[in-house]
Each structure stands twice: as structure tokens, then as C-alpha cells.
Amino acid sequence: MSDKPEISPKMQNLYDLAAELDDLGHIAALLGWDQQVNMPHGGAEERGLQSAAIGRIMHEKFTSDEVGQLIDDLVEEVGDLNAETDEARAIKVAKRVYEKQTKVPLPMLMEQIKVTTMAHQAWEEAKAKSDFSIFQPLLEKIVDLRKQYADLFKPYDHVYDPLLDDFEPGMKTAEVKEIFNKLRPQQVELLQAIAEKEPPDNSFLKQHYDEDLQETIGRYVITRFGYDWNRGRLDLAAHPFTTEFGQGDVRITTRYLKDDAGSALFSTMHEAGHAMYAQGVPPKYRRHPLSGAASLAIHESQSRLWENLVGRSKEFWSFFYPSLQMLFPQYLGNVSETDFYRGINRVEPSFIRVEADEATYNMHIMLRLEIEIGLMEGTIAVGDLPEIWNTKMQDYLGITPPDVARGVLQDVHWSGGMIGYFPTYALGNLASVQLWDKMLEENPNIPDEIAQGKFDTILGWMREHIHQYGSKFEPQELMLKATGSKITPEPYIQYLKTKYGEIYNL
């Protein structure tokens, strides 16, 4: 006799549909991964058509009247969609996605997929040549398509809300602004205090470290973290990312910079954090409506936690620094562990978001949020972006990028149409510290374990409190369950003040 609860025929129909859509979604992801890792430049147009074909099949399968009727019947059958059962939450997730997708005309979806596939190649070329004009026409199309998309969801409180909701279910622009308005003055105050102090030396990082050896240490670190190589691999891409083609295949990428040895290592840790979340979703959610993550902010809480709260901690380097020193004696032989720790945590306004230190990182996100809102409201024109970007960089960080490659073209997201994504990075930072504080409260020996190169308790806690739920709970609901609080800026500010107070003797 089976222990599995019986499910109704209609519920089984929903699960079967979800499994098929999951398969198609992973095929689309595989096309995207190949484009960024392997595909020759000339393949962009045909890849756009291939991706659009998959997108059309998925859209048509999920937005049919029959699926709408199935969801309505299941809502009536189950009743309370907020009940904490897999069935109720699977229906809730399916209903939410159905209601959004049925508002989108198929031609608009097809155009979006084709344009963004072409735009990715244009962005790569524009960034390599530091020439915004190569990317501008396609970005103008993308912004126009995003405005059309937002209009499908009128009435809304703000034109940015439908885009934000795609990445952070239930979150409103007003909520993000409120959080950032609390965050910004306190981060500015901290940055001003730090600016008055002598910065730690980090010149030892600004060398050309052998890339094969960088890969060796990166693989070693994330293997200790718990990244499962039987279900993953590491490749190179212009912009590091994580993608999955199912629970058995979760891939990460990194990149090597000639003048910053920390970049690849910390991005590898970051992407491993994302990947371990995907690898930690339980097998019962394989090809299931709840197979995804709660949100991009929750995803980002995982990557930022492993990259920063673990990877930039004193305890971490008390274990790993001897190995790094042994691999690179010519650069690190005369650098003490204390100087190394202070150097990798140096606070310094920088042009590139993904290389930014913890104290300045959120400023990069607030800048992007202002620009994205301006683009959607129509107060910022795409053609003016390079100048507006530089002005805001000066305003937020006191520096002006020397070229567009290190300015407005540095991030891949707009080429993929992902307007609304950036706020989730800062929200993820805040969530990471809340989760960390709760985990330490329950497991005060974690710092000692990190110093011994042991990470089982951290990964196990995340498996229990975050990973096991897949997309069963909305992000704020999940944060309440895990920490007792919704996403809030106060713990993050306290973390920064404590950490940098010690490093900079504030």
C-alpha cells in the first residue's frame, strides 16, 4: 500500500501539465546557456527564432481555455489556496501564472523573445567595443515592449509594479522605495565615516593570477560548501550566471579578470549559492508547479550569504588562506592573513556592480532602480542613458565611469528584458543577514565550524528553512516562517556597521 496521498484526477492533470511545461522551460534554458557559453556570434537570429518557438508552445499550452477551466475547477475543489498543503499552493502558483500569462498576447511574447535574443549579442558586441549605439536600437525596442507589457496589467499602483512582480511576487514599487529610503541615508553615513579613514591595501589582488589555478581554488571552495558536481558544472561566460535544466543539472559560470583576482573566486561562490538552492529543492517537486524558488530576492539571499557572510569572513580565510597562499606565493607570500582579510573587504566606490564591496553594493542597485523607473515612466529616454548613468554614479558613489563598458553597458539584464530584476539584489542582501542572524542564534558554533572548513550546518539549515519549500510560499511569507520578520533593512545596516567598524576602527 502506497504512503503517498491520493490526488484527484484534475489535480493529476495539473501536475502532468506542469511537468511538460517544466521540460519545455528547461529546453529553453539550455538554448540560453548555450548562447552565452558556446554559440558563435552569427547564431543569434536563428537562436531567437528557436527560443521563440519554444516560448510559443509553452504559452499556447498553458493559456488555453481548458487550462483556465481546470484551474477554476481545482480552486473550487480545494477551497483555501493559502492552506499549507502542496496541492493548495500548487494551484495558487498555477493560478497566479495563468492570470499573468493570459493577459499577454502571443505576438508580443514572440517579439519579446526574438528581440532579447538578438539584443544579447548586440550587448556583448557593444560592451566589447564600448559603443552604446550598437545596443541602443534594441534596448529602445525592449523598453517599449516592457511598457506595453506593463499596460496589460492596468490598473496598477505604479507602472513598475507588474515588472517587479515577475521577479518578486507580491512586492510593490512603493515597498521597495520605502526600504531603500531607510537604507540609503544610513549607508551614506557609513560610507562617509569610512572615507575619512586610511583604506586597507588590496594591491595584491590587482595582479594577473593564473586562471587555471584560480579555477582550482574556486572548485575547491564550492566543493567544501556542498555544490554537487554530479548535478552541475562550471563554465565561462561574459557575465556570470546560474541556470538549471532540472534537479539533476544545475550549472554555474564565472569569468576571469586580468586585474582583479577576487572577481572569479567571489563570483564562483555567489553562483554556487544560487545553484545549491536549486539543488536543494526536494525530489517531490521535480517537474512540479512548486519546483522553482520563492523569488529572486530569496535566491539572491543564498548567493550573497555564501559570497559575503561566509566567503568574506575572518573565519573562512583562517581556513582557506594557507591554500590560496600556497597556490600564489609570488603575490601572497608576504601578505598576512589579517592584511588579506582587510584587503578583500576594502570599501571603495567602484564602477562595476558585481565587483562592488558590501558597503557600496546597494548604491549600485538604487541607481539602477531610479533609472528603470524613469524608463518605464517615460521621464528617461534610452538615448540619454549613458549621460544619466554617469551623473547618477557621481551622485551615488562620487565617481564617473571612463567609458560605457564600465558604465551603462556593464550589466546583461536589460538585454534579456529583465527590467524589474535589479531591486531583488538589494532585497537579497537584506534577507541574507536576517537568515544569517537567525541561523547563528540557533547554531552559535557556526563561526568555529567555518574556521575548520565545515559548512554542513549552514547548508543543512538553508535546506530546512528555505530550499525544501521550493516556490510553495511567497517571499515575505517564507521570511516570516524562517526568521519571524519580513525583509527589513535594520539587521543589514547593523551587520555593516559592526563589520566595517572593526576593519576601519570607526
Three-class secondary structure of residue 244 per DSSP: strand
User: Residue 173: what residue type?
Assistant: T
Contact 204, 332 (CB under 8 A): yes
Work out the angle at residue 232's Cα, subtended by the Cα atoms of residues 226 and 236, and round it to the nearest 5 degrees: 110
State yes or no: is 271 an active-site residue.
yes
Query: Which of 39, 208, 125 lies closest to 405 in space, CA to CA?
Result: 125
Residue 246 is given by DSSP the state S
Rg (CA), the chain: 23
* Number of other CB atoms surrounding residue 462 within 10 Å: 23
What is the helix, strand, coil percentage profile of the chain, to 5? Answer: 70, 5, 30
Under 8 Å CB-to-CB from 2, ≥6 apart: which residues? none
The C-alpha angle 429, 430, 431, rounded to 5 degrees, equals 95
Q: What is the DSSP letter of 473?
A: S
DSSP single-letter state for residue 162:
H
Check: CB of residue 461 under 8 Å from CB of residue 442: yes
Residue of 87, 271, 300, 307 marked active site: 271
Q: In the numeric block, which cell numbers belong to residue 97?
A: 501564472
Q: Give the total residue count for the chain.
A: 506
> Distances from the Cα of 267 to the Cαs of 108, 303, 346, 418, in angstroms?
34, 9, 17, 20
Q: Which residues are catalytic?
A: 271
